[in-house]
Chain A
Amino acid sequence: MSRFTPEMAARAAELVSLYPEPRSALVPLCHLAQEQDGWLTPEAMEEIAELVGVTPAEVRGTASFYDMLHTEPVGRYLVSVCTNIACLLGGAEALLEHAERRLGVRAGGTTADGMFTLEDAECLADCDRTPCVTVNHRYVGGLSAEAFDQLVDDLRAGRRDDEIPPHGTLVRVRRSGGLRVPRDQVASERQAMAAATAARAEAAKAAAEAQGAEGAQGKGA
């Protein structure tokens, strides 16, 4: 299950083609692997390494730096409760404690049925609706304890699945078509632009010098 499916492999190739250097696609490919498997499996890291021309260790070393890339399985729903300053002022600690009781796991843990992973998150940039909660990186608003319970019930019953895809599916809109400017055109245009820019700069400099000379003459006269 952990190598890219043919469809995912095609999308992976598309991603790599968007960048001047394949390695730039490393993080997007990790997101893609999580979309397929829900987390970043060792097999996926090996395949990504092949695709971008680095070692699997480099993929793991990079992925482990980022909070959103999970090298261990996470629940179907990643519930992130922000406790940073604005949410702290808005009662986030009480909500996180409530969430821990409701789900029966501490922050960082996953429920036994694999449905929920609870996370004590840093600022999620939605600070006018506190305490801020996201599920699989989708904002669900500032939540009271009651609203949190309702959310959990709804998620368990699959009532929010239209709006909240399973963990790993970050972006449901795909870029259509790759790069449109032919690469050799980019190269030749860059040269032409550089020449044109230099010519205009030269002309501007000459004009400024002519004006300067005129100004100096004016002063002298």
Chain B
Amino acid sequence: MAVTDAPRIVTARVGYEDSYTLERYLATGGYEGLRKALSMTPEAVAAEVDAASLLGRGGAGFPAGRKWSMLRKDPVTYLVVNGDESEPATFKDHLLVERDPHQLVEGVLIAAYALQVSQAFIFIRGEFALGLERVTQALNDAYDHGAVGADIFGSGFSVDVVVHPGAGAYICGEETALLESLEGKRGFPRIKPPFFPAAIGLYGQPTVVNNVETMSNLPWIVLHGGKAFAGLGQGRSAGTRLFALSGHVKRPGTYEVEMVKTTFRDLVYAPVYGAGVRGGREVKAFIPGGVSAPWFGPDQLDLPLGQDEVGAAGSMLGSGAITVMDTSTCMVRAAWRIAKFFARESCGQCTPCREGSGWLERVLRRIEQGEGREEDLDLLLDVSDNISPGLQWPPQQTTICVLGPSIPSSIHSGIDMFRDEFLVHVKEGRCPVG
């Protein structure tokens, strides 16, 4: 089993009972990254992040450094942190906001300095009540410590940070929907172009939106250098990354692992990670990057945990959520539940997504209940094709945002990989699994 000796970058502190307090944070090197950043020019800080090859940890995996460089020409900007973690089976930002809120705040301040913004917003999923409390307390303490506010650490740089609670909507994880929500509106994604946040973001101003985990990496990157970060992992997938492992494993949890040098099999079976499948059963299929991602079968367990490697194999690391389904799982039921999720969470702006998700959910439900029709599998694929033409990967899009083309992933995978199981449901009105 490959368990590399890479340092723990974002979870170094989470083992401490009081990991979320300023005292613990300062005792473990806290705010040293910010002090160092303030002694550098903003461009030099941004250059370190560029050199780190830090791919955004939210889901799309866009290089953070490049996202920033799109902004540097423009005078008025906002920094918005996306802590609306809602992709099913993703629970890594949950850990970061509750267990190490100062690390997040420090990352935000470093980014604010590099981008030269004087106001940043941390948008946190409303359901994270404790996380909201922890980050608010951390921010209060950081203000008192002189790390936030006017003339931070006597550097002449000033910035305010506001914690903003969400109110329960998956779609607000989409960055333009998040900005709408932050403006006090329904979370409707904006049409891109022209509404790329870097050009027209919060209140119409150039805005950077970065994920919580992305921000939490910054103190380490500034302290140790972008090169040290890029020295971990391989190729474009540099550094370590948090993976949220769930489903039928003995030890579900959030694990920080070195990218590429670790495989799905390592994560599922290594004693320090998943420790194998429950009840000694086998893996039937697994979701490699949140429910928007196409499924993989056991023959893909040896793929490395790298963004490009998983992309080339026809899926994505997405939000870093890996869900293991063992041989006792009914794949129709799994696909139905995921379709139901999308039907509930579609914002309703675009017809293919709004109507398609509802139809897919209803057809899957009747198959699951033993009332399916012979033509239902073709119907599912046809409706899916209307949402995402060609059912290819990466998907084509007929909608404003990527929620739409995410809907067919599990349905297409399910029918592709487990057609016989779907057919038994349709023809015999029963589930062959139990």
Residues of A whose CB lies within 8 Å of any CB of B are 18-21, 23-28, 30-31, 52, 54, 61-63, 65-69, 83-86, 88-90, 122-128, 130, 134, 136-139, 170-177, 179-182, 185-186, 189-191, 193-194, 197, 200-201, 204
Contacts and interface: CB of A to CB of B under 8 A. Distances in A.
B159 interface: yes
Given A173-B133, A197-B116, A68 B168 contact: yes
A65 B185 CA distance: 9
B162 interface: yes
Given A67-B167, A69-B167, A127-B244, A200 B43 contact: yes
Nearest to B245: A128
Interface in B116-169: 116, 118-119, 125-130, 132-133, 136-137, 139-140, 143, 148-150, 158-160, 162-169
Contact of A175 (B42, B139, B347): B139
Given A31-B167, A125-B90, A186-B119, A171 B149 contact: no
Contacts of B166: 27, 66, 68
Q: Which of A130, A139, A181 has the most CB of B within 10 A?
A: A181
A182 B43 CA distance: 25
Contact of A173 (B41, B140, B160, B338): B140
Contact of B75 (A27, A61, A194, A204): A194
29 contacts: A21-B184, A26-B184, A27-B167, A28-B164, A65-B187, A68-B167, A85-B247, A85-B337, A85-B338, A86-B246, A88-B334, A122-B341, A123-B88, A123-B89, A125-B86, A127-B323, A128-B244, A128-B246, A137-B126, A138-B130, A171-B133, A177-B140, A180-B143, A180-B158, A181-B149, A186-B118, A186-B158, A190-B76, A201-B73
Q: Which of A67, A86, A90, A174 has the most CB of B within 10 A?
A: A86
Interface of B: 41-43, 72-76, 85-91, 93-94, 116, 118-119, 125-130, 132-133, 136-137, 139-140, 143, 148-150, 158-160, 162-170, 181-187, 203, 244-248, 252-254, 287, 291, 321, 323, 325, 329, 333-334, 337-338, 341, 344-345, 347
Contacts of B127: 68, 124-125, 134, 137
